[in-house]
Amino acid sequence: MSHDDFNFEPIRGLPEQLPEGEHILWQGAPDPRRLAREALGVRWIMGYFVLLAFWRVGVSSAELPFSVAILHGLPFIVSGLLASGILYGIAYMQARSTVYTLTNKRVAMRIGAALTMTLNLPYTWIGTAKLDLKPSGHGTLAFELIGETRISYLMSWPHVRPWRMARTQPALRCIPDAENVARLFAEAAETRISEPRVTRVDQPDGTAVAAE
């Protein structure tokens, strides 16, 4: 299911040429700012440091003039900005190294800023898909896998549905125009799953017939 992706990509986001009959419907990547907010919790981190700054100023103002006490809160604000900057940098690198691909037969996810790999998820492996759509039009499309298919939560993070660790759900995180992408996925998956499959059945007399 996964493939180490250090070799040259013949097609952007894919480790090899597409087989005959398969074609790309859509390609995209996470929005870095949305990824930083939703996956890395940058707003919570900044809020935490702001609360620390208010607490420090409140404690200091009991003994010092307010103009002096407010300076005691500055180190916390600076620390919060630094932490937020680091998280935004991580989100940017994650987004830049990620390519999500929908074809008429599968979902492919080229992920990983340091250790790059590609997840190939045929539509026949996907039971349901859930869209978390935001007012801005960005959203996360998560896939619930069926059967014995398993992927690692840690290896795939942040390209997974949050807190689904027992049964990891790979996800297209923080993508623009998420509603349209979900529609493309639904149409392609329905078409792929409804396609008849022909198999060869051997008869007792040695002949063979085709059966769906």
Same domain membership, residue 67 and residue 12: no
| Spatial separation of the C-alpha atoms in residues 14 and 116, rounded to whole Å | 11
Same domain membership, residue 175 and residue 150: yes
Reported confidence tier of residue 115, pLDDT bands at 50, 70, 90? confident
User: Is residue 146 assigned to a domain?
Assistant: yes
Q: What is the DSSP letter of 59?
A: H
User: Is residue 41 assigned to a domain?
Assistant: yes
| Spatial separation of the C-alpha atoms in residues 35 and 206, rounded to whole Å | 59
The reported pLDDT for the residue numbered 195 is 64
What is the end-to-end Cα distance of the chain in Å, rounded? 26
Give the closest residue to 42 by CA, choosing from 74, 90, 75, 76: 90
**Average per-residue pLDDT in the chain?**
85
The full DSSP string for 92-135 is HHHHHH-EEEEESSEEEEEE-SSS-EEEEEEGGGEEEEEEEE-T
pLDDT surpasses 50 at 76: yes
User: Is residue 73 assigned to a domain?
Assistant: yes
> How does pLDDT run across 52-66, given as a tens digit for each residue?
999 999 988 888 888
In the chain, the number of structural domains is: 2
Same domain membership, residue 46 and residue 20: no
User: Is residue 209 assigned to a domain?
Assistant: no
Same domain membership, residue 79 and residue 158: no
> How does pLDDT run across 165-192, given as a tens digit for each residue?
888 999 999 999 999 999 999 999 888 7
Same domain membership, residue 129 and residue 181: yes
By CB neighbour count within 10 A (0-12 exposed, 13-18 middle, 19+ buried), where does 38 fall? buried
Same domain membership, residue 182 and residue 128: yes
* Stated pTM of the model: 0.81
Beta strand 106-111 with 117-122 is antiparallel
Give the closest residue to 131 by CA, choosing from 147, 146, 142, 118: 142
